[in-house]
Structure 1
Amino acid sequence: MKEWGKIIIAAVFEVGWVIGLKHADSALEWLATAAAIWASFHLLIVAGRTLPVGTAYAVFVGLGAAGTVIAEIILLGVPVNPAKLILIAVLLAGVVGLKAVTDQGGKKEWHGSH
């Protein structure tokens, strides 16, 4: 579960850098955006060493996308679009479902072409 926590935190940083790419105006805001990019991908890479990388990436992107839409509504005053919220709910259901059906066993190592 610790590795999935890293994916969740990585997705939070993803929300930060995605918003930063659009709204950063000062050197400090660009530095914070760059730090968020580094943190999100670092956590994704570290978690991907243990978790199935396809599922980890899908969860990371899904949570980041949903988080960005929600953050824009809450923090930036973007109007609420009910259809968008329904689609975000479907996306999150898919992310949760994908994680639920993913084998949590040990990671299989790749040893070249088989």
Structure 2
Amino acid sequence: MAFLTNPWTLLVLGGICEMGWALGFKYVRSDAPWWQHAAVLAVLAASMALLWMAMKSLPAGTAYAVWTGIGALGVATLGILVFNEPATHMRLFFLALILVGIIGLKAVSGET
């Protein structure tokens, strides 16, 4: 279970949860059933809690940049693949830069 206490694992899981609440904000309509709104809020709370736990071991700037980067990259990728959002060359290039930034911050963090 040490895997679930690794700050990078917590950070990646938090970033994935960030994707969930961001998509929920966009696609759960105001007249949706109460449980859909509750699910979005639960995923939002989980995302924040996982970021908070990761920040106990990682520098705040690194953790926040990676957390938001995972969320932004994931939401944009799902938007392209699932929701038919535009996939221009420049958009893909800048999404790739976000990915390079995430990998780079992990590489220079000194954490395992």
**TM-score, normalization by structure 1:** 0.84
Residue 81 (structure 1) aligned with residue 85 (structure 2): no
Tell me whether 1:4 sits opposite 2:12 in the alignment.
no
Q: 2:14 corresponds to which letter in structure 1?
A: A
Whole-angstrom CA distance in 1 between matches of 2:62 and 2:108: 10
Q: Percent identity?
A: 34
Shift of 1:96: 1.1
CA RMSD of aligned residues (A): 1.6
Aligned length: 105
- Compare 36-45 and 75-84 and name the one that shifted more: 75-84
One-letter amino acid matched to 2:87: V
Post-superposition shift, 1:92? 1.0
Q: Which residue number corresponds to residue 19 of structure 1?
A: 23
Distance 2:27 2:7 in 1: 30
Q: How does 1:23-102 map to 2 (within 5 A)?
A: 23-25=27-29, 26=32, 27-102=34-109
The structure 1 segments of at least 4 consecutive aligned residues displaced by more than 4 Å after TM superposition are none
Structure 2 residues without counterparts, runs of 5 or longer: none
Structure 2 residue matching 1:76: 3-state secondary structure:
coil
Say which one has the larger Rg. Answer: 1
